[in-house]
Each structure stands twice: as structure tokens, then as C-alpha cells.
Amino acid sequence: MENIINDKDVVFIDEKGYIHRIDIANIVGSGAEGMVFRGENKNILIKISQIKKENDLGKKIDKIKSLNLSKDFKFTLPITKLNSSDKNYEGYIMRMMEDMKPISCLMRTSFENMEECYRYYNKETGGLRRRLEVLKKVAYNLYYLHSKGIVYGDISPNNIFVSKELSHSEIWFIDCDNIDYVYDINYTKGTEGFCSPEIRKSLTPYNMGKQKNTIENDIYAFANLAFNILFLADPFKGSIIWKENETSEDNEDDWWDVEEDDDNKKFDLGEVSWIGENDESNKPIYGLSTNMDKMISPELKNLFNETLGYIGRNNPNERPSLRIWYEEINNLLNSLIDSDDGNFYYLNNIENKNKNYLIFEISYQKGKKCKKIIKKKEEIIELKYCDLGIGKYKQKEEVYLKFNYRNNKKIIENNASTEIIVEQNHKLDGEEKIKIKSRDRKQVVKFEELIINIMEEKIKIKIMGEVIWDLKR
């Protein structure tokens, strides 16, 4: 890009005549397709790229505007094109929140010791819970595109932004001129280290045939990004890197600053097992990857394996959808326990007792595997569609059932479109069936003893009782 922009302070004029000034030192991100800068107005981003085909970018932007994407979803779409007549560049303006930064801020990999690593992970960047909240929203927005038959095309740490404040976990996708319908895709692109083997093979320096971007490549890139964010490590670069770069006996202790092999071909082409694949030649040793089984659920680890493992690397159609990723991340969030030391723990790995939680067991009548949901015992307990694994896509974040304690009465609030039946088990009084009509409320004596049959969705929710945990390091 140096041959395109040479001055430190650059002024652009968009096609509507508005003036935009940037400092080229204030770069937000860069890639094969161009560079993104903050404008003088901090809520404006400006993308600049070299002209390849006349009016190519203009056609892309017009196409994106025709996709009719919901404004509720977090995609920073082009607003207006730059007036680039008699210039060797093209570009466009997009809107962006000022208090956000690239998601790469959650992916630091260089530390002096483990203490510094844990401090960065938990204190400086929000820990496991915030990371899962961020990834849940990324998966949610990507699945929205996929449900419409649309490919994002170039998932990378520079193309997704996250809130600066640790108390927030909002996300935005930028650089959205890649998105298009699956059947209209005519390009191949991907960020090194975050795209699938079938895409990487078709890019420089390999150029092994032509492979257009797909939904399956989005899924692979998401899994790779998620692993980096959760464990501060590349999912493929484990002990195999250390063995290849072994020069002294001290190397094993220097996991945080290891040099990689210059020849990355075997990684790029999917010839190396991911570090959770139980391959002795490539075991987890970097970042927090050695704590993988303590930090995430077996179900979520299985999604990594189905996507990054041998079958997922070689059979794109076998990769699980972003809807499944979204639901399993949400399930894990419901199983996290906040501790007094500010960290978060996966419930299955806590051994001692102290705090109150309720266990909900979800049974499906159509042969789907049962699952458990763990909720902190509070005045109001909400079960969303995403908790239950049911409902239409647009309903995923809506509350389906609410357990409310009001005026010394325990109440169920139902958002279902048809009635549900509550079977209340009394140890002394036998069974009592309570019909709760759509969006009605009914007093219930004890939440812990309920069995709720939701007729419409053909699922059964059983409240197993309370669990008490004490969190100790």
C-alpha cells in the first residue's frame, strides 16, 4: 500500500462530497485486499485498496446493499464509496463504534511466565466467561448469514471488533465487502492461519487449483479463531513445534516465546493433527491449551475435533454448523461458576461445596441427546430458546420460560405459543398436574420438584434439584 498512500495525513472525498481525513499511522487492520483506517471522526472507518478491475468494488458494494441484512446484526456495511477518479486506489466508508478494538486483543501469546499469562487472561481481558460471551455472539451473527445462504468469506482477528470495556462483550464485523450468496461467490481468499486447508491450497504460494469460499470455510476459520481466543495458542502448533526447534534443554520452559518453523506447508495443507486429537506427535504445550479439558465441556471439545480433526480437515461437509457451535458455547456459559478470586470455572471440574445452583435436565422426544443446564439460584431464573436448543433462529436469544419469585410467590411465566403442563411432585401429596396456558402465570410451590412438558416443542424439562459448590483454587 506504500505506493498508493505516501503522505502521513491524507484527505479523501466520498461520492457524496463529504471530506474524510486520516492519519496513515492510525491503521486498524490490513490484509491482502487492502487497509482499514480510523477517520478523523472516530466513528468512521475507511477502507483503501488498490484498483484491480474498473468499478469492481462499486459493483460489490451495490450487491451488498441488495442483500437486505437485518440492522439488528453486527455487520459494518459500506455506506458510501470514495471518489477515486484519476487515482490508483478505491475504497469506501463504513460506520464503527469508537470504543471498540480488534478481537486480536484477546489473543496475546507472548508472556514472561504463567503468572503474567493468567493475569492477562483473567484480569486484563475478562477471563473465560467474557471470551465465551464474545464467541457466542460471533457464532450467532455468522449463523445468521449462513441461514440466508451467505458467506462472510474472510474471518480473521482484524475483521472482528470487540468492546474495549471488560464489562461489555459486544462485537462488530468490519471489512464486509467479502460477503455474498454461496451461489454467486467467485473469489478465493483467506487469512493465513485462519482459513481451511482447501482454501489455503488454492492461494499463493501453493496455487493448487481453484476453490471458492464457502460456508464450511467460515466454520473452520471460526473454530481456529475460537481456539486462539480461548487458549492463547494455535490449535495446530503444539509439541511438534518444540521438537522441530529444539536447540537446548531449556526450550521446554520457554513455551511462550518459541520460534516457528519457516516452512508452514504441512500446517497450511492440513497435514498436522490438531493438539486435541490425541496424537502423541503433537500434544498441547503452549498457552492454556494444556488446561483444555478443565476449561471447556466435552461437547465443545468435540466440536473442535469435528471441525479441526482429520475428518473436518479433509471433509468440509462434516463440519458442524455455527448454530451447533452457538448452542454448545451457550451451554458451557450456563455451566460456568464465578469465584471470589475473579476467575471462572467449568462446573464439572469443581470439587467442593458452597454456592446454590439449579440443575435443569432437558429431554427431547425425537431421539436428540439429553443435556443439562446449570443456573445460578437467583430471584429470577430465565431459560432462553438457545438454552433449550429449540425455536427459530430469530428467537434464539428470547426468554422461553421464566421462574420468578414475586410477592412471596414462586411463579412460572411462559412465552410458548401453546400450553405447557407442569407435573408437581410432592413427596407426601402425590402428583398434581398444572396446565399453564400460553403467556399465562401460575403459582408453583417448589421449582426444584417440577417436570415441565412443553407440548409444542416435544421436550421435557426436569428440575433435578439444587447443587451447592464451593470454589477453591
User: What is the Cα–Cα distance from 118 to 129, expressed in whole angstroms?
Assistant: 14
Q: Please report the domains of the chain, with CATH numbers, ordered by start residue.
A: 9-98 (3.30.200.20), 101-333 (1.10.510.10), 351-470 (2.60.200)
| 3-class secondary structure, 182 | helix
User: What is the Cα–Cα distance from 271 to 265, expressed in whole angstroms?
Assistant: 8
> What pLDDT sits at residue 230?
97
Residue whose C-alpha is closest to residue 101's, from 173, 22, 163: 163
The tens-digit pLDDT sequence of the chain (473 residues) is 444 555 556 788 888 888 888 877 778 877 666 788 888 887 888 888 876 666 677 777 888 878 878 878 888 888 888 886 656 778 888 887 778 999 999 999 888 898 999 999 999 999 999 999 999 999 999 999 999 999 999 999 989 999 999 999 999 998 888 899 998 888 888 888 899 999 999 988 888 888 899 999 999 999 999 999 999 999 999 999 876 655 444 444 444 444 444 457 889 899 999 999 988 889 999 999 998 988 999 999 999 999 999 999 999 999 999 999 999 999 899 888 766 555 566 666 554 445 678 888 899 887 778 888 888 888 899 999 999 888 888 888 899 898 888 777 788 888 877 778 888 765 545 567 778 777 777 777 677 778 888 877 788 888 876 665 444 33
> What pLDDT sits at residue 289?
93
Residue whose C-alpha is closest to residue 156's, from 198, 217, 96: 217
What is the side-by-side order of every strand in the sheet holding 171-173?
100-102, 160-163, 171-173
> What pLDDT sits at residue 57?
73
Residues 6+ apart with CB under 8 A from 392: none
In the chain, how many H helices and how many E strands? 12, 23
Specify the residue for cell string 481456539: 227
Surface-to-core class of residue 138, CB atoms within 10 Å of its CB (0-12 exposed, 13-18 middle, 19+ buried): buried
> What pLDDT sits at residue 2?
45
Half-sphere exposure of 414 (CA within 13 A, CB side): 23
- CA angle, residues 381, 383, 470, in degrees to nearest 5: 55
User: What is the Cα–Cα distance from 126 to 342, expressed in whole angstroms?
Assistant: 9
Q: Which three cell numbers stand for residue 245?
A: 526447534
Q: Which three cell numbers stand for residue 418?
A: 401453546
> What pLDDT sits at residue 338?
65
Surface-to-core class of residue 339, CB atoms within 10 Å of its CB (0-12 exposed, 13-18 middle, 19+ buried): middle
Within 248-396, where are the H helices?
A: 265-268, 292-295, 298-308, 310-314, 322-333, 385-388
